[in-house]
Amino acid sequence: MIAVTGAAGFIGSNIVHQLNRRGVTDILVVDVHPSDAGQANLSPLSYLRYLTKDDFAAWLGDPSNAAELDVLYHMGACSSTTETDAAYLDENNFGYTRDLCLKCLDAGVRFINASSAATYGDGEFGYVDDHAGIDQLKPLNLYAKSKQDFDMWAKAENLLERIVCLKYFNVYGPNEWHKGDMRSMVCKGFEQIRDHGGVNLFKSDRPAFADGGQQRDFVYVKDAVDMTLWFADHPLVNGIFNVGTGEANDWNRLITAIFRAMDRDPDITYVDMPDHLKGKYQYHTCAAMDKIHAAGYDRPVTVLEDAVADYVRNHLVSGTHLGS
């Protein structure tokens, strides 16, 4: 049996979908009570049972139940980078994750956890996923800090040789409609183009970067999930790993790819960055991928333009959820 927390969410529902494509349906899907949009992610998928996060924690605490479970993909968390309730994030993102981790280790369940590239902060210390370097990282928001807190706790407890923590970079793809302002720029950019004909991007206030030239490691969710499932297939590989492409692309290339997928010419307007983002905005991210490749993962990632075209034409245009 497999369990997926955050299963009504973005990466979680993509994991369930990919498991279904493998013929796996013996899945516990776990989430808070999903919104209509979250339920739309789940409804086309096949699974054994739905549990709320609290019910799942109690279920996992029963040794007879835990003995049935092989793998837990823990994708559930508050992922808002603008969340200001530190106590909530500490309980929901750190405390709950810690408790599930310990229960899985006690029961011999493979524990694969979603960390985040946001833990790298402004990139001052690079984007290398070695364990020694995580102590010096300086997250820029409370969400990132909650992810860093778990990584640091796991390191302090000498658990990183027994579990997997995946630092997802800028993931985009189908089933992210419910995320509101936390949706990827592919999703939001598509809607801006569809409704208004053009897209707004932030101006740069750093001479080294042109307007719209701020860079991200954009990774298609289908590639991110493929990497995630690989760790369940290779139970001897543990630790902190980046999930990205190893390539930094700027917003201009990403947005141009959306226009091309919609058969339109680019129309980009550059606007001032809001004050609340100044000093907290990443200008460059790029996942170091040497570690995961050295561990044995060797599948190529989808070229950005091809991934954007697939997302736009097969999901955004029609509003099609995975499995529909």
Residues 6+ away with beta carbon under 8 Å from 240: 115, 129, 130, 131, 134, 151, 160, 165, 166, 167
Radius of gyration of the chain (CA): 19
pLDDT in tens, 50-108: 999 999 999 999 999 999 999 999 999 988 888 999 999 999 999 999 999 999 999 99
pLDDT in tens, 150-166: 999 999 999 999 999 99
State the average pLDDT over residues 299-314.
98
Q: In angstroms, rounded to a whole number, what is the distance separating the alpha carbons of residues 14 and 228?
A: 11
Name the DSSP letter for residue 163.
S
| % of the chain surpassing 70 pLDDT | 99
**Which of the two residues, 38 and 119, has the higher pLDDT score?**
119
Residue written as tokens 């640091």? 152
**Angle CA(264)–CA(267)–CA(268) in degrees, nearest 5?**
140
Which tokens go with 295?
């561990």
Q: In angstroms, rounded to a whole number, what is the distance separating the alpha carbons of residues 317 and 299?
A: 28
Tell me the C-alpha to C-alpha distance, in Å, between residue 227 and each of 112, 128, 260.
Answer: 11, 17, 28
Report all structural domains of the chain as residue ranges with CATH numbers, in order of start: 2-172+217-245 (3.40.50.720)
**Which of the two residues, 58 and 275, has the higher pLDDT score?**
58
Give the closest residue to 292 by CA, choosing from 247, 248, 230, 235: 230
State the average pLDDT over residues 112-126.
94
Quick check: 36 pLDDT over 80? no
Q: Which long-range contacts (CB under 8 A, 24 or more apart) does 265-270 make?
A: 267/193, 267/197, 267/198, 267/199, 268/198, 268/199, 268/200, 268/201, 268/212, 269/198, 269/199, 269/200, 269/201, 270/200, 270/201, 270/202, 270/203, 270/211, 270/212
Residue written as tokens 């919104």? 35
Please give the positions annotated as active site: 143, 179
Quick check: 34 pLDDT over 70? no
Of 31-35, 39-43, 294-298, the one with minimum mean pLDDT is 31-35
Per-residue pLDDT at 165: 98
Per-residue pLDDT at 319: 92
Looking only at the bridges linking them, the beta strands covering 215-216 and 249-250 are antiparallel
State the average pLDDT over residues 121-138.
92
State the average pLDDT over residues 121-150.
93
Q: In terms of DSSP H, where are the helices of the chain?
A: 10-21, 36-42, 53-60, 63-66, 86-89, 96-107, 142-156, 185-196, 221-233, 251-261, 290-295, 304-311
Quick check: 286 pLDDT over 90? yes
Per-residue pLDDT at 129: 97
pTM: 0.95
**pLDDT-derived band at 125, boundaries 50, 70, 90:** very high
Quick check: 2 pLDDT over 80? yes
